[in-house]
Amino acid sequence: MTITTTAAVAFEGVGKAFGPVRAVAGLSVTLHPGETVALLGPNGAGKSTTLDLLLGLRNPDAGRVELFGTTPRAAIAAGKVGAMLQSGGLMEGVKVRELVRLACDLHPRPYPVDQVLAAAGIAEIGDRLVEKLSGGQQQRVRFALATAGDSDLIVLDEPTTGMDVSARQAFWAAMRAQAAQGRTVLFATHYLEEADEVADRVLVLHRGRLLADGTAAEIKARAGARRIAFDLDGPVPEEVLCDLPELRHFEVSGRTVRMQSGDADATVHALYAAGLYPRGLEVSGLGLEQAFIAITTAEDEDK
């Protein structure tokens, strides 16, 4: 892979181990300016380690990380990157406005404090002490710190943890406004619906490796499977269901059967051939969440 100076983020063969655990293993990926990218993966997939490497908070054991054609540290020193990390505690004993003002003062190309507070939806709580805020409000303050100036790349590690549904929606509206200004946005999430709704591109990480890279629609298609649901009039003969061709998974609830199949036509045909008469038959594509489970499960079975 050639690293070009136009890439916002370039990982080339990056590895990071903690003792025997390979947190990130041979990761190569390029993010282009203006993309909104979700980094999706289960617990321990390597998302936070990837973001730490990207921000220069850890050094890779192997490979190279570049932001805008330079080292993470240089890019950060130049104010090109705003980050909202999962763990970082907020300074105590200061008011929201004071903390945001400090972040603005530290940024080479700061925005006015009031603008930052308003964009993050915390203008009304500027006079509150940071430690008195709810978890969701603290997340907004972290977001304000990440967007205190004119950065080209915004990195967010599970930014909506602790937010309720309406706070989440408001947060993503603010984030979209940032992306609409041409910034590159990279966020780690467990929430598949967020990746589906917010990101132009989804990177699926599992055991430190990149399992899939594409639009949410491509990831769903890549999982290949279709969802089949129907009711049966009589008792459900699970032994017959087990033998259906291409079946990946099924669950029975009362007389309702839900299954995933690699070839819905073959599975449904075999259902009829086995003498079963499904009622209310529905065949549909997988949601992103099911696609994600299908991809990561297939990977585990290959081991």
Closest CB to ligand ATP among 125 and 195? 195
49 binds ligand ATP (CB under 6 A): yes
245 binds ligand ATP (CB under 6 A): no
Q: How far apart are CA 21 and CA 2, in angstroms?
A: 28
Owner of token pair 């499960």: 297
41 binds ligand ATP (CB under 6 A): yes
- Give the binding range for ligand ATP (CB under 6 A) out of 16-24, 119-127, 171-179, 280-288: 16-24
59 binds ligand ATP (CB under 6 A): no
Closest CB to ligand ATP among 209 and 227? 209
Helix (H, G, I), strand (E, B) or coil at 26: strand
CA distances from 186 to 22, 37, 39, 82, 107 (A): 22, 5, 7, 11, 20
Q: How far apart are CA 29 and CA 24, in angstroms?
A: 12
Closest CB to ligand ATP among 49 and 267? 49
160 binds ligand ATP (CB under 6 A): no
Residues contacting 149, CB < 8 A, separation 6+: 79, 82, 103, 104, 107, 108, 109, 110, 111
159 binds ligand ATP (CB under 6 A): no
Residues contacting 196, CB < 8 A, separation 6+: 202, 216, 287, 288
- Give the binding range for ligand ATP (CB under 6 A) out of 18-26, 128-136, 210-218, 245-253: 18-26
Contact footprint for ligand ATP (CB under 6 A): 18, 21, 23, 41, 43-49
